[in-house]
Amino acid sequence: MNTSVLINKTSESIVNLTTQSSVSSTTRSSVVETMAANLPKLADNITALVEHPGIFLQSTSAKVISGAFVWIALIITCHQIYQHLRFYSMPSEQRWIVRILFIVPIYALDSWLSLMFFRDNYYVYFESVKDWYEAFVIYNFLSLCYEYLGGEGNIMTEIRGKPIRSSWWYGTCCLSGRTYSIGFLRFCKQATLQFCAVKPMMSIITLVLQAFGKYKDGDWSADSGYLYITMIYNISVSLALYGMVLFYHA
């Protein structure tokens, strides 16, 4: 229910209550209950209008402009996917590339739909699809890296026994004096792939909390699920990025 409807309903209730002296006590109680039920929603809507007067992202212009760029991204990416499928000469590599490329139309379309239906909180459901595929893309990207380098066995042949270079920039300052081993490579892989499991799990939990009214974007209060989901997500993505940086540095 939008703000204008709430204002009209509340105004009508006040007028009826104050102008009709013959109104029964039951009717008065009903009117008061209606006002009490509508006032919190009215206050929230007025607060939103005061704090965010004329948000550009909610304007028609923003939706049209973003929609245009979404379709441009869709056309370009779909053409690239078509070209890979048309000239499918290296299946072992191109299958990973095609899966990775699909993140562009999925991410763009989901983001646009989230913008279109932002006021109704449907964006949470659209983002869950994006989150699932984002985790899938991380898995495919790591698999593509392994494929480019000839697989785990070939990678170990290249790096086994070599000393780990100490670097503050790459986060290997605590690994000085150690050498590359299968354990190191497995850590990089597991640190990256844990994100592929955590991300979908957090997405499902978000949907459940949203259904029970326990999730609100940007609400950092202790009784809101947003705080804890954000903390877990940030820890997971940081660990995944660290694993990929170590893999790149090796």
Helix 182-211 to helix 152-159 angle, to the nearest 10 degrees?
130
Q: What share of the chain is helix, strand, coil (3-state, %, to 5)?
A: 80, 0, 20
* pLDDT band at 51; cut points 50, 70, 90: very low
Six-digit token pair at 154? Answer: 């070939």
Phi then psi for residue 179, to 5 deg, are -120, 160
Q: Please, what is the Cα angle at 106 between 62 and 215, to 5 degrees?
A: 75
**pLDDT 10s digits, 65-106:** 999 999 999 999 999 999 999 999 999 999 999 999 999 999
Rounded to whole angstroms, the Cα distance separating 140 from 100 reads: 7
Q: How confident is the model at residue 16 (pLDDT cuts 50, 70, 90)?
A: low
Is the pLDDT higher at 164 or at 43? Answer: 164
What pLDDT sits at residue 158? 86
Q: Pick the residue with more confidence: 21 or 90?
A: 90
pLDDT tens digits for 103-161?
999 999 988 988 888 776 677 788 888 889 999 999 999 999 999 998 888 888 888 88
Does this model's pTM top 0.75? My answer is no
Short-list 107, 175, 185, 182, CA closest to 145: 185
- Asked whether the predicted pLDDT for residue 198 surpasses 90, the reply is yes
171 and 245 Cβ atoms separated by less than 8 Å = yes
Please say whether the beta carbons of 39 and 10 come within 8 A: yes
For 163, list phi and psi in degrees, rounded to 5: -70, 145
Q: What is the pLDDT of residue 195?
A: 94
Give the pLDDT confidence score for residue 53 in this predicted structure: 47
